[in-house]
Amino acid sequence: MCGIFGVMDKRRQLMDGSSIRQALSMMNERGSGEGAGYVAYGIYPDYRDCYALHVLLDNTCESKAVVDATLGQWGAIEHDEAIPTYDQPNLRKTCTPWRYFFKPDATLAPGSASPEKDIITNLVMQINAAPNGAEIISSGKNVGVFKASGWPEDVADYYRIQDYEGYIWLAHNRYATSSPEKWERPDPFNLHDWSVVENGKTTTYGTNRRYVESFGYQCSMSTDSEVIACLIDLLVRRHGLDINLAIRALAPPFWEDIDRMPEAEQKLNRALRFAYGSATMNGPFTVVAANPDMMVGFTDRGKLRPMVVGECGDRLYIASEEAAIRAMEPGVESITRPAAGEPVIGRVAP
């Protein structure tokens, strides 16, 4: 199960988190009260040039010291503080959420086309893979992930999600199957630009993980969304694929459909399957992913999980259920259910 929700305002008009909380809680039937999370783009305008690192710390002494020291070596911490939280009776607190506003030292990644992101990627992998009591749950500019084990309302209230304003929001209502106590386990997963929420469970975690790890990524969470975030980062940032093609590589058409395409298209699709066979995701999934410029939704090619798309004015919605969209936008103008293999791509106005 699991319920996912995404909303994007094409003109970057800000939405506070209260309506997202309401939309996500409409899908409580799809969750088990053991995990929920939110991610929003545009929430830290004052630190827009810093990478905002949201970190779950086992404790604020030894665990934090490790993060401080590592970040200090790779750049400058402009500011750091505890993320404001408000205890909820139904949440069992197991860690302390912290945030750093960090500027990586680009000279430490000489020769890279995107040195800052390379450094951030490595820092996230390094800190998360080590048994140091610190998990970086988001690491992009002007973006932040808020998640915990509990029902969506409790998690939202714990972080007072209504105090944040973003132009893209993704949210996830988790039906836990493993490690329900771990706050880092619910979606969204974020790796600098990209955030991912998934409803599903791929049957290709092993293949996909080994594939991204052969490019230097390290996956330590045993969960699909972490691998999907790495896959998208690899294909889009490092391999330079247009998002359209990246999604087609992850959920490609069947060979018999490719065989019927015009020659040039056939060649392109064959090349994508040749190059990215190990990146192909199989099994049931609906993924909604976002970066600062776009929000996309796509399903497995058999569409074993739901995906509903709503449009209203400048807003694009993608959700597991229509009810979630209507909770936020009662007068939604259009509701569609794209066929299997039809991705939804929404871009914010430049």
Kindly list the catalytic residues.
2
Report how far apart, in Å, the C-alpha atoms of 238 and of each of 53, 106, 183, 283, 310 are.
22, 17, 30, 26, 31
Let me know: does 207 contact 160? Beta carbons within 8 Å.
no
Let me know: does 74 contact 108? Beta carbons within 8 Å.
yes
DSSP letter string over 295-332? EEEEE-TT--S--EEEEETTEEEEES-HHHHHHH-TT-
Euclidean distance between CA atoms 236 and 25, whole angstroms: 32
Of the two residues 100 and 205, which places its CB atom closer to another protein in the complex?
A: 205
Of the two residues 219 and 328, which places its CB atom closer to another protein in the complex?
A: 219
Of these, 205, 217, 298, 317, which contacts another protein (CB under 8 A)? Answer: 205
Does 38 bind another protein (CB under 8 A)? Our answer is no
Query: What one-letter code names the amino acid at 332?
Result: V
Does 310 bind another protein (CB under 8 A)? Our answer is no
Query: What one-letter code names the amino acid at 27?
Result: M
Of the two residues 48 and 267, which places its CB atom closer to another protein in the complex?
A: 267
Q: Which burial class, exposed, middle or buried, applies to 102 when counting CB atoms under 10 A from its CB (0-12, 13-18, 19+)?
A: buried
Does 243 bind another protein (CB under 8 A)? Our answer is no
Of these, 282, 335, 342, 345, which contacts another protein (CB under 8 A)? Answer: 282
Does 204 bind another protein (CB under 8 A)? Our answer is yes
Of the two residues 19 and 114, which places its CB atom closer to another protein in the complex?
A: 114
Sheet of 294-299, strand order: 189-191, 194-200, 285-291, 294-299, 344-347
Of these, 163, 302, 336, 347, which contacts another protein (CB under 8 A)? Answer: 302
Of these, 62, 206, 336, 337, which contacts another protein (CB under 8 A)? Answer: 206
What are the start-end ranges of the E strands in 128-204?
A: 134-138, 143-148, 165-166, 168-173, 189-191, 194-200
Per-position x/- string for 223-242, each x denoting binding to another protein as judged by CB under 8 A, each - no binding:
----------------xxxx
Is residue 188 reached through a cis peptide bond, with omega within 30 degrees of 0 on the bond before it?
yes
- Return the range that interacts with another protein (CB under 8 A); candidates 68-76, 123-131, 278-286, 307-315: 278-286
Does 278 bind another protein (CB under 8 A)? Our answer is yes
Q: How many residues bind to another protein according to rule CB under 8 A? A: 41
The tokens for 235 are 């294909």
Of the two residues 107 and 178, which places its CB atom closer to another protein in the complex?
A: 178
Query: What one-letter code names the amino acid at 17?
Result: G
Of these, 284, 294, 312, 322, which contacts another protein (CB under 8 A)? Answer: 284
Residues contributing to the site for another protein (CB under 8 A): 177, 200-207, 210-211, 213-215, 239-242, 245, 254-256, 264, 267-268, 270-275, 277-278, 280-284, 301-302, 304
